[in-house]
Structure 1
Amino acid sequence: MAPNAERPEGTRVRVVPGGPVLVEGPVEVVMDDGSTVTSDRFLVALCACRRSRAFPFCDTSHRRRVRAGPPDDRERPAAD
């Protein structure tokens, strides 16, 4: 799309690495069981990690994730 071209009508969805899926609202989400939840906000954060207590909406629970694996150099004691 050309830089000055108008964006076609539609919904914009942005995936945030390690975070939520941002959807320009309002939005209606169909759950696994067929029920629906809605939000009339202009930007809706949908949980991608399933840790949210407000699922399917993000409550930033992904920020409390503990990283596994070896520590980086800043966490290692200095060698003598």
Structure 2
Amino acid sequence: MATEIKTTKVTFIEDGPIMIEGPVTMEGQYGNKATEMKTIYLCRCGGSSNKPFCDGTHKKIDFKG
């Protein structure tokens, strides 16, 4: 039996994205909502072509932050 995650954990990865584990509901500027129950990675470098999600661009541009 799989264990259900009921809390949300946010981790800022050194020189990388923000990792969010657990249930998270994202709301867009027009009120559309999406709930994810898996781990997601959000871009911090501003270079992702899949914003707001990380696509690994931080490694290519040597992001520090």
How far 1:39 sits from its partner (Å)?
5.7
* Runs of at least 5 residues in structure 1 that lack an aligned partner in the other structure: 1-8, 68-80
Which has the higher relative contact order, 1 or 2, with Cα contacts under 8 A spaced 6 or more apart? 2
Give the structure with the larger strand fraction.
2
Aligned mates of 1:59, 1:36 — CA distance in 2: 22
How far 1:21 sits from its partner (Å)?
0.3
TM-score of the superposition, structure 1-length normalised? Answer: 0.56
2:3 corresponds in structure 1 to: none
1:47 corresponds in structure 2 to: 43
2:10 corresponds in structure 1 to: 13
How far 1:50 sits from its partner (Å)?
1.1
1:29 corresponds in structure 2 to: 26
TM-score of the superposition, structure 2-length normalised? Answer: 0.66
* Runs of at least 5 residues in structure 2 that lack an aligned partner in the other structure: 1-5
Contact 2:7 2:23 in 1 (8 A): no
Instruction: Figure out how many residues of one structure are paired with residues of the other and give that number.
Output: 58
How far 1:56 sits from its partner (Å)?
0.5
Aligned mates of 2:39, 2:14 — CA distance in 1: 17
